[in-house]
Amino acid sequence: MMRSRSGPHLALPDVESRAVHRLLLGIACLTVAAAAFSQQEVGEDRPRFSTSVDTVSLAVTLTDDDGRLVTGLGLDNFSIYEDGVEQELRFFSVDELSLKLVILLDVSGSMRQKLPLAQEAAVRFVSSLKSEDEVQVVEFGDRVMTLVEFTTDFDVVNDAIQSTEVAGATSLYNAIYISLKDLESYRPKELDRRAVIVLSDGNDTSSVLGFEDVREQARKTNVTIYAISLRANQADLKKEKYRNAKFELDQLANESGGVSYAPESLDDLAGIYDLILTELKSQYSLGYVSTNTEHDGKWRRLQILTAEAGTSVRSREGYFAPRKSRLRRRRRP
């Protein structure tokens, strides 16, 4: 359902009550849950899956030395290490899974001349999606507003993209954080691939949250971040604020297994969205049950290796282990 601009806005601190509740509680206490997958059996039409807090699922991109995607490899080509300990792969799929995407569009004042081309590129991107893919559209300027919730109705999505309007400052951190939380909580047990695609032309100027808050949340979710920075030419990068902004977007993308782009021209935007979509549909899905059974909430570093010569692997760098449940027991009378 598309939201009216006259209605409640998703903003910080001026934000609709649902988002405020989710955000404030999310900073104080976050739980980590993952969809767990059982081993795919030969002859099955689709992979089966079950739920376990100890299961780790990964979206993996493989490229050659020229940056071209490498597809068609089998399970035997991959090995996974968690904190240096090899893990047994329980799930492997090269199927083109459905996508759940958040399209984040910067509508701050500096986007006034750039927004029409950004809208056009995003609409073109949506037209290439498959019917089962789901999209949420979020704009951020003075405030963060969800224009349309996750939907397969691409006409509604395109209307939302084209309705974006320029409005003041840049709440970049708030927007990414809220989008990650939305993706984390939306139908978490489904077998799919999830990503945030954020386009921005500047540094954050008005968020309540800081970069480290966003980075921590990104590390807690199995979501790939793709960043498109429109302030990355040589002239812009001479200014510290734009250098820092690009560095932060680069870091979020790299640590989540995504890519950070810096187009030389707005005319390159459509091609960048095409690259992102092609990559999402060419990823390998891997899953394993960790041999480390400690539920201590600690960071665990991942390393994914491939036997295919001349290739590089991209995926999230690690994850936080689940914590022991702290259930409060009430004595019955």
pLDDT tens sequence across 41-76: 333 344 444 445 678 999 999 999 999 999 999 999
Domain annotation for the chain: domains and CATH numbers: 38-93+284-320 (no CATH), 97-280 (3.40.50.410)
319: pLDDT strictly greater than 80: yes
Tell me what pLDDT residue 24 has.
38
Span 25-39, mean pLDDT?
A: 36
Tokens (6 digits) for 124: 């073109």
Tell me what pLDDT residue 133 has.
97
Instruction: Give the C-alpha separation, 86 to 88, whole Å.
Output: 7
284: pLDDT strictly greater than 60: yes
pLDDT band at 318 (very low <50, low <70, confident <90, very high): very high
Tell me what pLDDT residue 191 has.
80
Tell me what pLDDT residue 41 has.
35
Tell me what pLDDT residue 96 has.
81
Q: Give the residue, 234 or 26, on which the prediction is more confident.
A: 234
Q: What is the pLDDT of residues 176-205, one digit of tens each?
A: 999 999 999 999 888 889 999 999 998 899
Span 276-289, mean pLDDT?
A: 95
Instruction: Give the C-alpha separation, 303 to 301, whole Å.
Output: 7
pLDDT band at 326 (very low <50, low <70, confident <90, very high): low
Span 287-312, mean pLDDT?
A: 95
Tell me what pLDDT residue 21 has.
40
Instruction: Give the C-alpha separation, 86 to 298, whole Å.
Output: 18
Tell me what pLDDT residue 10 has.
41
281: pLDDT strictly greater than 70: yes
Tell me what pLDDT residue 32 has.
31
Q: Please write down the HEC assignment for all residues of the chain.
A: CECCCCCCCCCCCCCCHHHHHHHHHHHHCCCCCCEEECCCCCCCCCCCEEECCCEEEEEEEEEECCCCECCCCCHHHEEEEECCEEECEEEEECCCCCEEEEEEEECCHHHCCCHHHHHHHHHHHHHCCCCCCEEEEEEECCCEEEEEEEECCHHHHHHHHHCCCCCCCCCHHHHHHHHHHHHHHCCCCCCCEEEEEEEECCCCCCCCCCHHHHHHHHHHCCCEEEEEECCCCCCHHHCHHHHHHHHHHHHHHHHHCCCEECCCCHHHHHHHHHHHHHHHCCCEEEEEECCCCCCECCEEEEEEEECCCCEEEECCCEEECCECCCCCCCCCC
Tell me what pLDDT residue 26 has.
45
241: pLDDT strictly greater than 70: yes
Q: What is the pLDDT of residues 100-159, one digit of tens each?
A: 999 999 999 999 999 999 999 999 999 999 999 999 999 999 999 999 999 999 999 999
pLDDT band at 87 (very low <50, low <70, confident <90, very high): very high
Tell me what pLDDT residue 331 has.
54
Tell me what pLDDT residue 190 has.
83
Average pLDDT score, the chain: 85
CA 327 to chain CA centroid, nearest Å = 31
Tell me what pLDDT residue 2 has.
54
- The percent of residues above 90 in pLDDT, for the chain, comes to 70
